[in-house]
Chains A and B, each alone.
Chain A
Amino acid sequence: MSREKILAAVAQNKPTLTPLPEIQNFGNPYANLVEQFKTVLTAIGGEVVYVKDWEEIRAYIQTHFGGRRIVTNIDPLADVAQESWIKSDPHSLEDVGLAILKGQFGVAENGSIWVTETEMGQRVTPFIAETLALVIQKSELVPKMHDAYVRIGGERYGFGAFIAGPSKTADIEQSLVLGAHGPKSMLAFLMD
């Protein structure tokens, strides 16, 4: 059986055991995490909107996304979104114009936001929507990826992703195009 064959070959050919290095944190080089996060996410094609409360998000959505199919699983925004979609066939989300989801926290060094299946409602939601909006608290920003994994710790999730900006490609002559297969635009609501 190949399993035994492979494991035996590894055991025979592997070098002498060397220890794992200590993972250092390297500290926080950023004076202002919010500014850093905004600068990076904007540079990679995302948009950052500062808001005080859910009311401001609701107003923003009504102004910018009227007429689109909107889904969310955030209770305070339930009235701007429609119908129950969490139990539906993921394919039926094909025409979603805007998905608004909570993120757990953001990473200042790369503008990404950590979102797990629980916040996604359905795994495909943040990928299939034409625009993705993620909501995080301003206080929920960590400097770097090392801090991000400390924060995640041993959390058990079925699926989780760092999401940094809209879907994009530069496969045609290195010209950056937003909206490859996933969202054509992505915004992060940073709440006080």
Chain B
Amino acid sequence: MNHADAAEKFNKDFDRTTWHDETLWWVRQKRDRAAFAIPEWEQLRETASQIKHNVLSNLDNYLIEFEKNAQKSGITVHWAADAHEHNQIVLSILKSQGVTEIVKSKSMLTEECHLNPYLTENGVEVIDTDLGERIVQLADEPPSHIVLPCIHWKKEEIGVLFHKHLGTPEGCADPVLLTHAARANLREKFLTRRVAITGVNFAVAETGEFVVCTNEGNADMGAHLADVHIACMGIEKIIPKREHLGVFLRLLTRSATGQPITTYSSHFGKPREGQQMHIVLVDNGRTVQLGREQFRNSLKCIRCGACMNTCPVYRRSGGHSYHNAVAGPIGAILAPNLDMTKNADLPFASTLCGSCSNVCPVKINIHEQLYEWRQVLTKSGHSPTAKTLSMKVMSAVLSNPTVYHLSGKIGRFAMANAPFVVNNSFNPWFKQREMPEPPKESFGEWYKKNRGEK
């Protein structure tokens, strides 16, 4: 289902759409309050953007430096060209441990690679430990937001889900009780699983350490109790120096949720005694995107989700309408790189209002890239047939004055005398709108009458 159809389905429930919209806007307002409290906010964004630009321009050397330093600390470094290789590497580590049950904290990369279904097919049980991710996992759904995975779920629905899976009392919809039920259930998993997978927010070339940020403490509970810690990251997560963390940690959570910092910003430097630590560095299309000059800045993304919270289209269409691991404006410029045919609709899921670019902590020109992608996709024949055809008709009309004037007349006549020709469900402009009253004459006709002869 393409974005427009999925969004239409989402919008069938008017109250829910409004609720979704308002909840995310509230998060956006929290972000504003946090950002406006920092006088140097704009300089921080600029600095972060420049650091990331340097990273992209020297990524191969930073990767080599990171690998060398991580290995020196006793961390095993793996390289995966694509999603499949990433999944194979993870499975082979699990097999070497004889492990069939694992815990995983939030990692958008593993979502992108569809690691969970792959491991399940291979007989491994994966428990997502972030509360929001656990909720959507129990419901057999993907996350709908990279920071707030179950933002589309109401507490009453979560109550029903937990009653079924965790045995909470029927009708219980209290966030505190539900959260603590999940805590008790997941604690048992933390205590019994021998392998933990985490994502990576930042990996520092200079030191070979990596940083994982959570509020719940689930990454730490998993990693520090497990015999084996596997951290999965896209190659663009590298930053050159430790001091750069000062810039990014100031921006990340303020942009994401309006908090001054996540509860835990955990710096993993070495495996603990007796523990194995693995890092999987994943390309999966990133080097291709690096080569697309107009789109490479999308690789600066630090996955804060601010562009989603502010986006009028995302807020009213829901994360699942983007049919991609990363939804919203940033997802819409990352997804076509992975698969142009499948994701050709996404850059069109935008009003190009530019709010995404304005809140982006690393100053990605998201709305400009959305516009660029539309051109690339249309030129390479990926735009929908109906749109291509109507654009061709439009072009023929606009390039011929006689046809143009005639069409105007026909249009005004039809709207005045036979409104059903335009007021029908085949005309997308008629959806949720009244068509305007047609003018009696065109500007050209009016001008001729009133000014033309003087």
Q: Which residues of A contact B (CB under 8 A)?
A: 1-3, 5-7, 9-21, 23-24, 26, 29, 40, 44, 90-91, 94, 107, 109-112, 117, 122-124, 127-128, 144-146, 148-150, 152, 154, 156-175, 177, 179-183
Tell me, in angstroms, the Cα distance from A168 to B217 when the chains sit together: 8
Determine if A171 and B267 form an interchain contact, defined as CB atoms under 8 angstroms apart: no
* Distance to closest chain B CB from A33 (angstroms): 14
Interface size on B, residues (CB 8 A): 90
Question: Could you write out 21 A-B pairs with CB less than 8 Å apart?
Answer: A9-B291, A10-B60, A12-B291, A13-B287, A13-B288, A14-B60, A26-B40, A90-B225, A123-B223, A149-B245, A159-B269, A159-B272, A160-B267, A171-B132, A174-B148, A177-B180, A179-B180, A181-B129, A182-B220, A182-B221, A182-B264
Q: Could you tell me if A6 and B283 are in contact, using CB atoms closer than 8 angstroms?
A: yes
In contact, A6 and B281 (Cβ under 8 angstroms): yes
Q: Does B155 contact A175, Cβ atoms closer than 8 Å?
A: yes
Q: A3-B79, A20-B54, A181-B190 are in contact. Are A15 and B235 (CB under 8 A)?
A: no
Q: Is the CB of B53 within 8 A of A18?
A: yes
- Contact of B190 with A10 in the complex, beta carbons under 8 Å: no
> Interface-forming stretch among B255-263, B362-370, B424-432?
B255-263
In the bound complex, CA of A110 to CA of B251 (Å):
12
Query: Judging by beta carbons under 8 Å apart, are A171 and B130 in contact?
Result: yes
Among B43, B85, B129, B249, which residue has its beta carbon within 8 angstroms of that of A162? B249
> Interface residues, chain B, CB within 8 Å of chain A?
23, 26-27, 39-40, 43, 46-47, 50-51, 53-54, 56-60, 63-64, 73, 79-81, 85, 129-132, 135, 148-151, 153-155, 158, 175-176, 178-180, 183, 186-187, 190-191, 215-218, 220-221, 223-225, 235, 240-247, 249-250, 257, 259-272, 281, 283, 287-288, 290-291, 293, 296
| Contact flag A157-B269 (CB < 8 Å), given A10-B60, A10-B63 | yes
Q: Is the CB of A127 within 8 A of B220?
A: yes
Q: Would you call the interface of chain A mostly helix, strand, loop, or mixed? A: loop
Known: A127-B224, A177-B176. A161 touches B60 (CB 8 A): no
